[in-house]
Amino acid sequence: MSDEIAHDFSPFIKFYKDGRVERLKGNDIVPPSLDLKTGVESTDIVVSAETGLSARLYIPKTAINTSQKLPLLVYFHGGGFCIETAFSPTYHDYLNSLAASANIVVVSVDYRRAPEHPLPIAYDDSWAVLKWISSHFEQTGPSEWLNSNADLKRVFFAGDSAGANIAHNMAMRVGLSEEELRIKLVGSVLVHPYFGGKEPIGAEVKMEAGFKAWTESFWRLACPSTTGLDDPLINPAEDPNLEKLGGEKLLVCVAEKDFLRERGWYYSELVRKRGWGGIVEVLEAKEENHVFHLFNPSCENAIAMLKRISSFIS
């Protein structure tokens, strides 16, 4: 085994020359449970035994064993496509809170991660989960919670950072796909979305060249088949079909001190300019950094954001 490092993205992940990958964050997992604080119950399901693709489902306990239909949120976790899982305490706690606050059913997708499973695998896994969800349309799918309590005519996508990128790309697939998904996508919530572009925009002009190179090389490691930072997968401005984005409404959350702030604002303006017919809302958290709400969920801005997302969905 060689200890020679090929790429060092500390404090997140290291890539060694012998092909090994060392994840420095997002390795902890917690089991599904009834969360006493929020009254939300969770369970894990396997979507594909062949690939190991799985998801964690959340439901307010009060809805179990009733025929009450709740909006369904499909959530894609962040972590640069490389770290974190749907089972990490960070996302488990956040989605317990969101399911309770919005009174919704949540499916949190545990897509396979780069670099062992390079993009577009995470996108394809996420699409496979959407197809699995749509198998519950006639209330005969494998999950009793989805059969009984998920309203597939009120579906939302959401994610943070790389997960927001996945949410956008899934909404694009819904808008463009000839393959009928038997779900109705109402809207998407993109929190601090991971987008980029070859040309700097706004305050990005002042960013150090080294940081831009770091961002590009990270993207290339996650998506080796990419054409670069102007790939439509990471730069929606380069997508000629942007106006066909699925859904009727969009909430983009940005943070004032986030290195991705400009991209979030740019995306929201772009969607409007391209003639997408839906409603676009932007929520900016002042004085906050990237995914602050996950690391400091009890702060004033995180609570305000949770309320705004909840009202947007419900």
Q: How far apart are CA 286 and CA 136, in angstroms?
A: 41
Residue 21 in any domain: the answer is: no
161 a catalytic residue: yes
Q: What is the CATH number of the domain that holds 94?
A: 3.40.50.1820
**What is the extent of the structural domain holding 162?**
30-313
Specify the number of domains making up the chain.
Answer: 1
Residue 294 in any domain: the answer is: yes
Angle at 80 between CA 78 and CA 86, to 5 degrees: 35
Beta bridge partners of 252: 190, 282
Predicted confidence at residue 287, as pLDDT, reads 98
Q: How confident is the model at residue 31 (pLDDT cuts 50, 70, 90)?
A: very high
Report, as an integer, the average pLDDT of 167-173. 98
What's the pLDDT tens digit per position in 42-57? 999 999 999 999 999 9
Q: Which of 70, 147, 61, 76 is nearest to 107 (CA)?
A: 76
Predicted confidence at residue 297, as pLDDT, reads 98
Please check the confidence at residue 2 and state whether its pLDDT lies above 80. no
Report, as an integer, the average pLDDT of 186-199. 97
Exposed/middle/buried for residue 278 (C-beta within 10 Å: 0-12, 13-18, 19+): middle
Predicted confidence at residue 207, as pLDDT, reads 86
Residue 293 in any domain: the answer is: yes
Residue 218 in any domain: the answer is: yes
Predicted confidence at residue 210, as pLDDT, reads 77
Residue 240 in any domain: the answer is: yes
**Residue 213: partners with Cβ closer than 8 Å, 6 or more residues away:** none
Q: Which of 247, 60, 282, 68 is nearest to 168 (CA)?
A: 247
pTM, full prediction: 0.98
Residue 285 in any domain: the answer is: yes
Predicted confidence at residue 209, as pLDDT, reads 80
Contact 42, 75 (CB under 8 A): no
Residue 20 in any domain: the answer is: no
Residue 15 in any domain: the answer is: no
Catalytic member of 54, 143, 148, 161: 161
Report, as an integer, the average pLDDT of 92-112. 99
The proportion of the chain whose per-residue pLDDT surpasses 90, expressed as a percent, equals 93
